[in-house]
Amino acid sequence: MLQRSINSFEWFNACLKDDIDNTSKGFMRGLARFTKANITAWKAKNGINMLRLSLGIVFLWFGFLKFFTGISPAEDIAGRTISTLTFGLIKPAISMPLLAVWECTIGLGLITKAWMRLTLILLYFQMAGTFLPILFFPHETFSGFFTPTLLGQYIIKNFVLISGGIVLGAAVQESPPAVKVNKNEAIKLMSTRAIAETFEEDFAAHKN
């Protein structure tokens, strides 16, 4: 009788330990999903703003340098490009302040979110112009076949800025009513669903 009681106690203790282990594992998986869901929601909520601000800072910073002669590393190539494009009608002494105003306007527009559509149009035109040195001065932008110089790399990286502008352009469009979702509710839904799915899986596994 005593031995049977001991065996029953050991069996109960083993079952309890298994339940605790399963619950702990389920909790950790649920916590991992909860954390992942919140991180994803944070990225979705803040990613566009971070992209907008970072682009704005770049344009404002680089544009501001062009107000001062001899400071901007892009001054020479930009001045010669505009001069070539206008057949020598617009000299660097005129084009640089104009370009500085243009870029600073883009930067301020992105940072303040003022006139975003107009700001992005200015950005697209400005970015298109940055690729002209590849056509006008190929020997300065490439040292060989598919081998850009430092200047060429400086120009080619503008594809990233253009892509960022395209993403922002899509973001400023009005979303249809059916697509609009309260961000806080979305976070709660994602978090609750992550935990619920975890415990449903654990229950199904335990049942089997």
103-143 residue pLDDT tens: 999 999 999 998 999 999 999 999 999 999 999 999 999 99
Instruction: Identify whether the C-beta of residue 67 lies closer than 8 Å to the C-beta of residue 84.
Output: no
The answer, yes or no, to whether residue 193 has pLDDT greater than 70, is: no
* pTM score above 0.75: no
The pLDDT confidence band at residue 65, using thresholds 50, 70 and 90, is very high
Mean of pLDDT values over 178-192? 52
More confident residue, 126 or 181: 126
The answer, yes or no, to whether residue 75 has pLDDT greater than 80, is: yes
d(CA 64, CA 56): 12
- In b/e form, how buried is each residue of 38-72, taking b as 16+ CB within 10 angstroms? eeebeeeeeebeebbeebbebbbebbeebeeeeeb
CA 179 to centroid of chain Cα atoms:
21
Mean model confidence pLDDT for the chain: 80
- Cα dihedral 109, 165, 95, 134, rounded to 10, equals 170
More confident residue, 155 or 8: 155
Instruction: Identify whether the C-beta of residue 172 lies closer than 8 Å to the C-beta of residue 116.
Output: yes
> What's the confidence (pLDDT) of residue 112?
94
CA distances from 4 to 81, 106, 187 (A): 95, 83, 52
Tens digit of pLDDT for each residue in 78-102?
999 999 999 999 999 999 999 999 9
The answer, yes or no, to whether residue 177 has pLDDT greater than 50, is: no
The pLDDT confidence band at residue 19, using thresholds 50, 70 and 90, is low
d(CA 131, CA 152): 9
d(CA 116, CA 99): 19
Q: Which residue has the tokens 């206008």?
A: 86
Q: Which helix (H) or strand (E) holds 143?
A: strand 142-144
The answer, yes or no, to whether residue 71 has pLDDT greater than 60, is: yes
d(CA 185, CA 167): 24
